[in-house]
């Protein structure tokens, strides 16, 4: 699928306790809130783990990211279902004749509350 300006790409994911445990080992982000379940048995998902959601578009479309920015608005917990909506804001040839892309995104939990917003830019390889 060739991307174009205005395209909207949406997908959902739920993070598990196992996801958080694996990311903890890889990242060494061992804050108590990532290691100790709350009263409902949930862990707080690491911010950078939740930030992998919009990178799904990069993986699906061979985007080599140049910049990424994130604003973490509220915690994501294990078991939450997060819907990520990515909008293609720019898609054109750059000065090196590569396809350059700029996109913005918003991620919301199952209650419709925004948890993460931001954007990324890069080139298609």
Alpha-carbon distance values, 46 to 8, 29, 42, 94, 115 (Å): 26, 7, 12, 34, 12
First and final C-alpha spacing in the chain: 14
Q: How many CB atoms lie within 10 A of CB 22?
A: 12
The residue extents of the domains of the chain are: 8-124
Using alpha carbons only, give the angle 108, 109, 112 rounded to the nearest 5 degrees.
Answer: 70
Phi, psi of 29 (to 5 degrees): -85, 90
Fold observed for domain 8-124: Thiol Ester Dehydrase; Chain A (3.10.129)
Chain centroid, CA 46 distance in Å: 12
Quick one: pLDDT at residue 39?
83
pTM of the model: 0.86
Quick one: pLDDT at residue 31?
65
Phi, psi of 83 (to 5 degrees): -105, 125
Quick one: pLDDT at residue 51?
93
Quick one: pLDDT at residue 56?
82
Tell me the longest C-alpha to C-alpha distance in the chain.
Answer: 54
CB 93 within 8 A of CB 61: no
Helix (H, G, I), strand (E, B) or coil at 5: coil
Tens place of pLDDT per residue across the chain (125 aa) = 688 999 999 999 999 999 988 988 887 766 666 567 678 888 989 888 999 998 888 778 878 899 999 999 999 999 999 999 999 999 988 778 788 999 999 999 999 999 999 999 999 88
């Amino acid at each position: 699928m060739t991307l174009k300006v205005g395209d909207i790409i949406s997908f959902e994911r739920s993070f598990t306790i196992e996801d958080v445990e694996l990311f903890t080992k890889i990242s060494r982000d061992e804050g108590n809130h990532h290691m100790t379940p709350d009263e409902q048995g949930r862990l707080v998902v690491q911010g950078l783990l939740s930030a992998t959601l919009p990178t799904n578009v990069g993986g699906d479309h061979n985007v080599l990211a140049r910049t990424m920015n994130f604003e973490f608005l509220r915690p994501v917990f294990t078991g939450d279902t997060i819907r990520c909506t990515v909008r293609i804001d720019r898609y054109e040839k750059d000065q090196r004749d590569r396809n350059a892309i700029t996109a913005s995104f918003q991620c919301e939990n199952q209650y419709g509350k925004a948890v993460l917003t931001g954007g990324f830019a890069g080139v298609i390889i």
